[in-house]
Structure 1
């Protein structure tokens, strides 16, 4: 599951018993060697899809982590790219490893639920961060994204089809969520990381109520399931006004 350069079981245990912020500060130096980092194939497919929609001028990577999404923004944004995250450790690694050529690059430490920007961006992307927000927090998060986009700007992120109940992945995720809920019931501070709480139908409704027009784009690189549905989609939510 982890490469030799990844964290040890002891390091993961210490992270899991920390707050989300401190846990990611600890994990940051080895984060890119874990399965938690968005795979390059997903990043490349999103970049390809965004190139068909763009170009854009200024882009923001929401909950940027170690900066993998900045490479996507650098391919589709002509002027500037910004990464925002509340983990100082993640931002430190991102600054060292990510230097998109020919673009103005900024790194900002902030909570995504209280973004310190005005309507300055044409594109906001996010990769793998939504499991750190409870479902009741998502409308507020989407309102923050809406507020930093210029009219006509887009909020884009990939969504994987949920695993079937007959699959091993389904039971692994169910077990992980159950363990996290027990951990949070008996230990403080909480570590919010629930992989099964982000449901596309609910998310689409929250986005539309926030004032977005929502489109779903199939990412053909990942094929389709037996029932014909896409394995991976990209959500593109456009700010109307």
Structure 2
């Protein structure tokens, strides 16, 4: 799973027994050498879709990590691009990779922006938010968008029941629940708590208009449905 440049087992264990913030501070220097970084095919597919949805002026990457999404935003936005994350270590890596972007340290559940962005994206961060936190997160993103602005993120289809990916996610979430029941501080990261029906309901409750676009570059399942969809949530015009 990991390249020789990635973290050791001991480093991963220390990270897993830390808080989310401190854990990512520790992992940040080697994060891009792990499988946790958003894969390039997903970034390319989202960028292609955004090219058809634009143009965009200002862009925001929510929970930006080391800046993979910011690199995409800089290619599809004509104006300033901003990344926000609560890990100082991850922001340091992102700033080194993209010095021309703006970097803000903040919790995504309390974004320090007014309605200034035309486009917001997020990649691979939603497992860090418990289901009851998701509507508040969506409301914060909506408040950061101009009327007509888009909040866009990829949402892979759930793995087939009984597949290796299914058992991995099930086992990971079970292990994380046991860890959080026995150890403090908690490290919230679950694969199976971000379901499409709940996401659509939460986005609608936050005041978004929601549609789904297939990402054909990422292939289809046996039943012909896409392996991954792009969730496109629009803040309606004329809303406060």
TM-score (norm 1): 0.97
- For residue 162 of structure 1, what is the aligned residue in structure 2? 158
The residue matched to 1:23 in structure 2 has which SS? helix
- Deviation per CA, 1:151-173, whole angstroms, max 9, x where unpaired? 00000000100001121110011
Deviation at 1:223, TM superposition (A): 1.4
- For residue 43 of structure 1, what is the aligned residue in structure 2? 43
Hey, what's the Cα distance between the residues in 2 that align with 1:128 and 1:208?
A: 21
Q: Which structure 1 segments of 5+ residues have no match?
A: none
Number of residues of Structure 1 aligned to a counterpart in Structure 2? 237
- For residue 81 of structure 2, what is the aligned residue in structure 1? 81
Hey, what's the Cα distance between the residues in 2 that align with 1:82 and 1:160?
A: 25
Hey, what's the Cα distance between the residues in 2 that align with 1:239 and 1:155?
A: 8
In the alignment, does 2:193 pair up with 1:235?
A: no
Deviation at 1:99, TM superposition (A): 4.0
Hey, what's the Cα distance between the residues in 2 that align with 1:41 and 1:164?
A: 21
Hey, what's the Cα distance between the residues in 2 that align with 1:190 and 1:232?
A: 30
- For residue 8 of structure 2, what is the aligned residue in structure 1? 8
Hey, what's the Cα distance between the residues in 2 that align with 1:85 and 1:161?
A: 26
Hey, what's the Cα distance between the residues in 2 that align with 1:164 and 1:99?
A: 41
- For residue 104 of structure 2, what is the aligned residue in structure 1? 108
The residue matched to 2:168 in structure 1 has which SS? helix
| Matches for 1:122-201 after TM superposition, within 5 Å | 122-201=118-197
- Deviation per CA, 1:23-79, whole angstroms, max 9, x where unpaired? 000000000000100001101110110010001000000000000001110111101
The residue matched to 1:179 in structure 2 has which SS? helix
Hey, what's the Cα distance between the residues in 2 that align with 1:27 and 1:166?
A: 31
Deviation at 1:98, TM superposition (A): 2.0
The residue matched to 2:79 in structure 1 has which SS? strand
Moved over 2 A (4+): none
Hey, what's the Cα distance between the residues in 2 that align with 1:3 and 1:204?
A: 36
Hey, what's the Cα distance between the residues in 2 that align with 1:147 and 1:188?
A: 32
- For residue 28 of structure 1, what is the aligned residue in structure 2? 28
Structure with the largest fraction of strand: 1
- Deviation per CA, 1:101-159, whole angstroms, max 9, x where unpaired? xxxx2000000000001001000000000000000000000000010000000000001
- After superposition, the CA RMSD in angstroms is 0.7
The residue matched to 1:226 in structure 2 has which SS? coil
